[in-house]
A and B are shown apart, each in its own frame.
Chain A
Amino acid sequence: MDIFFFLGITLVSLIFITILRREYEEYAVLLSMIVGTMIVSRLIGRLMDLIGAFTYLAEKAQINADYLSIIFRVMGVAYVAGFGGEICRDANENTLALKLEMAGKIIILFMAVPVMVAILEMVLRIF
């Protein structure tokens, strides 16, 4: 889990991508997609421990568990949409990237509705 591994992989693939981009754009996009997936998939395993720590802290603070799960789901959707959007932007397809990110935002909005309803009811109960 050291940074030099990621730096090495990024630099090696950067050279190959610049070579391939001159003649074939599609190989460069494919290679950058694969390297991006590779780098993050090595990190994703560690995220499980972080999430364990957060759930432990949430239990300590008596935060409702399903609100926390909604937060994690929203983070997941946001990350995946960003991941796809960046790949599209790398291939100079800004419209595709925006469409994908808009879809991600709408999905997140749908996920957040129950939380908003709960907050509103809490506020109304006070008055």
Chain B
Amino acid sequence: MIPEVNLIFKIAGVGIVVLLLNILFKQAGKEEYGVLLTFVGVVAIFIVAIQMIQRFFEEVRAVFGF
């Protein structure tokens, strides 16, 4: 499949898994782990996003020449 679509599904999957686990944590009464898990998910996706944006802006810099 197209690599872009793979990445979209991966990231959406992380978000949905975090959502489900938070619901489970809520029932188990340990909501603090849910909050920690959300932060871990955000940091993981943020790293991927930053690398992609950095590559993209290198291309923009090369194309426009500034």
Contact residues of A with B, CB < 8 Å?
5, 8-9, 12-13, 16, 19-20, 23-24, 26-27, 30-31, 33-35, 37-38, 40-42, 44-45, 47-48, 51, 69, 72-73, 75-77, 79-80
Is A34 in contact with B49, judged by CB distance below 8 angstroms?
A: yes
Q: Is B2 an interface residue (CB 8 A)?
A: yes
Interface size class of B (residues with CB under 8 A): 20 to 34
Contact between B55 and A24, CB atoms less than 8 A apart: no
A30 touches B52 (CB 8 A): no
Bound-state Cα–Cα, A116 to B30, Å: 64
Contact B8 A9 (CB under 8 A): yes
Q: Which single member of A5, A19, A26, A75 contacts B12 (CB below 8 Å)? A: A19
Known contacts: A30-B45, A37-B52, A44-B56. The answer to whether A9 contacts B11 by CB under 8 A is no
A16-B61 in contact (CB<8A): no
* A48 to B52 alpha-carbon distance, docked (Å): 20
Contacts of B48 on A, CB cut-off 8 Å? 34
> In the bound complex, how far is the Cα of B45 from the Cα of A75, in angstroms?
30
Asked if B8 and A44 sit within 8 Å, CB to CB, the answer is no
Q: Which residue of A lies closest to B66 (CB)?
A: A73
Q: A27-B15, A41-B56 are in contact. Are A34 and B66 (CB under 8 A)?
A: no
Chain A residues whose CB sits within 8 angstroms of the CB of B8 once the complex forms:
9, 12-13, 16, 31, 34-35, 38
Q: Is B24 an interface residue (CB 8 A)?
A: no
**Cross-chain contact A20 with B16 (CB below 8 angstroms):** yes
Asked if residues A20 and B15 are in contact (CB atoms below 8 Å), the reply is yes
A40 (CB) vs chain B CBs: closest residue: B56
